Amino acid sequence: MKRNYSAFAEDIPAYSGPNAARETYANLKQLSAIPGHIYTRPELQILPGQWRFSKMSWLVPMLELLPPTSIGHLKEWGLSTVFVLAKNYNKLVNVWESATAMVELWHPQTNSFIFPEFEATILLEELEIMLGLPRYQRGEEFAISYTVEQINSWSILAYITMKKNDLYSMTSGMHVHLLPIAQWITSQCKRKTTNYTAIAKAAAICICGVILFPEADGAISFSNLSIIDSISEGMKIGQAVLGFLYAGLTSAALGGPFYGSIVAFELWMGMHVQFRAVEDLTMECKTMLNHPLAYVGGRLHMSPRAWCKTAQVKGIQAWRQYLRSLTVADFDMRPQFMHGRTIHLSQRARLALRLLGNGALVSYNPDRCHLQCGAARMVVPLLSHFPPIQERKRGDAQDERDMRSAVVHWEGCATSAIQAEVEEDDEAIMEYIEALKKIQPAGGNN
């Protein structure tokens, strides 16, 4: 259903003023001073061997049975890259040491990674391009996927099957189980039914559940089921995917479980930190063989004949030392696939952007990551008065007002084209680094 948000602008509650933002900024903590942050708990094993990212023995056999018409629907819905990643999911090897060391630098108040000379984050535009998802454009706010109503999982799954036994096996509590859905797809394909759209919808739930919204082994939440279901209606899901990943990074940084698209996280780290495209290399990079970039790197201008900048970095301690001393020169600020791309920024603090999803509103602060956005480093900007992650209560009047407000801010956001080169002023850089030190971990890079 098309939605017009301009009409909602009049009933948005008044902004609480710059004082609220200044008070929030005053409470911005050093990374190592945040209670429970894993930066100060090196003995805590958050990510390695995480059970929720185990391989799915049923995934590839099910995908190989999909009829061409159903695969065509997935491509039409913008899931070609997700489909390729899912078909190769069991070949992917997650390097938990590097992921853990990176999560240790995630600041839960800013939703960004804190390095000695700069901040960086996973940009919405980066995520959409890396995963091949339909991209958000200003004026398309009606197509951002979310709902303010309570979610009835059976009404969504009813398009796939009306059999109560099937529906009972597919759901429990507030989660949907992927294996019974995959078994239903396999049954339909082997019987050669012509239920192509329903098969495609069911396959979308499986591949998106594994690649975009992994939360528990073989299961996704009702809220993310609704997001996935909206893809076939032409809705944009990038914000929901990124917000879910941000929330998962915050959970892991504070000692909880990690959830969200580890594949997107690995792609982002690969493009910015691990690999660099080199035209004259004749040998394939062995480090990339089991990396997601081996399967989708072409569209990101990254071939297997790349230089691995971190080939000698082995083990958690080495990764910690490497990332905690990372310089601007070592971080590929503007990979080639982002050159000339238009990105979305908040116009000013009072119009702070938040990522829309069915589970939470998540603060989005690309303006803190100057170099990554193609701008010179300046003084660290003030935080918005909005909480970093605001859990939603669907069906609540205040929740609906909050969502409308967030959409209107996207409607009025600023845009900027990323430039390949950025000129900086030395004095401004020093002022920026001094301001950045206030939120860097105490004790520097040790």
| pLDDT score, position 8 | 42
In 3-state terms, what secondary structure has residue 326? coil
pTM (predicted TM-score):
0.93
Residues facing residue 306 across a β-bridge:
277
pLDDT, average across residues 387-392: 93
Amino acid residing at 200: A
| pLDDT score, position 5 | 44
Residues facing residue 356 across a β-bridge:
361
Residues 414 and 374: their CA atoms lie apart, in Å, by: 14
pLDDT class for 186, splitting at 50, 70, 90? very high
Residues 360 and 339: their CA atoms lie apart, in Å, by: 31
pLDDT class for 26, splitting at 50, 70, 90? low
Amino acid residing at 323: L
Q: What is the dihedral of CA 198, 202, 204, 209, to 10 degrees?
A: 160
Tell the residue number behind the tokens 């899931």, with chain if given.
79
Q: Smallest Cα–Cα separation from 130: which of 255, 249, 297? A: 297
Query: Which tokens is 398 given?
Result: 């205040």
Question: H helices within 118-237, ranges in order?
Answer: 124-130, 153-157, 164-170, 178-190, 196-211, 222-229
| pLDDT score, position 21 | 58
Q: Is the dihedral of CA 152, 158, 162, 163 positive or negative?
A: negative
Residues facing residue 340 across a β-bridge:
none
| pLDDT score, position 303 | 78
Is 38 within 8 Å of 104 (Cβ atoms)?
A: yes
199-243 pLDDT per residue, tens = 999 999 999 999 999 987 788 999 999 999 999 999 999 999 999
Residues facing residue 236 across a β-bridge:
144
| pLDDT score, position 215 | 83
59-117 pLDDT per residue, tens = 999 999 999 999 999 999 999 999 999 999 999 988 888 999 999 999 999 999 999 99
241-294 pLDDT per residue, tens = 999 999 999 999 998 888 999 999 999 999 999 888 776 656 677 778 889 998
| pLDDT score, position 3 | 44
Q: Reply yes or no on whether the pLDDT at 6 is more than 60.
A: no
Is 283 within 8 Å of 305 (Cβ atoms)?
A: yes
| pLDDT score, position 349 | 66
Q: Is the dihedral of CA 403, 407, 410, 412 positive or negative?
A: negative
Q: What are the two backbone dihedrals, phi and then psi, of residue 48, each rounded to the nearest 5 degrees? A: -55, 135
| pLDDT score, position 16 | 55
Radius of gyration of the chain (CA): 22
- Tell me, rounded to whole angstroms, the distance of Cα 102 from its chain centroid: 15
Strand pairing report for 389-391 and 414-417: unpaired
- HSE-up of residue 312 (Cα within 13 Å, Cβ side): 3
Burial class (CB within 10 angstroms; exposed 0-12, middle 13-18, buried 19+) of 259: buried
H or E element: which one contains 120? strand 119-120
Helix 315-324 to helix 96-103 angle (10° resolution) is 40
Q: Reply yes or no on whether the pLDDT at 332 is more than 90.
A: yes
H or E element: which one contains 275? strand 275-277
Residues 331 and 372: their CA atoms lie apart, in Å, by: 9
In 3-state terms, what secondary structure has residue 267? helix
pLDDT class for 192, splitting at 50, 70, 90? very high
134-148 pLDDT per residue, tens = 999 988 999 999 999
CA 255, 271, 57 angle in degrees (round to 5)?
65
Residues 258 and 246: their CA atoms lie apart, in Å, by: 10
Question: Of 11-20, 144-153, 276-285, which range is least confident?
Answer: 11-20
Q: Smallest Cα–Cα separation from 369: which of 411, 324, 408, 331? A: 331
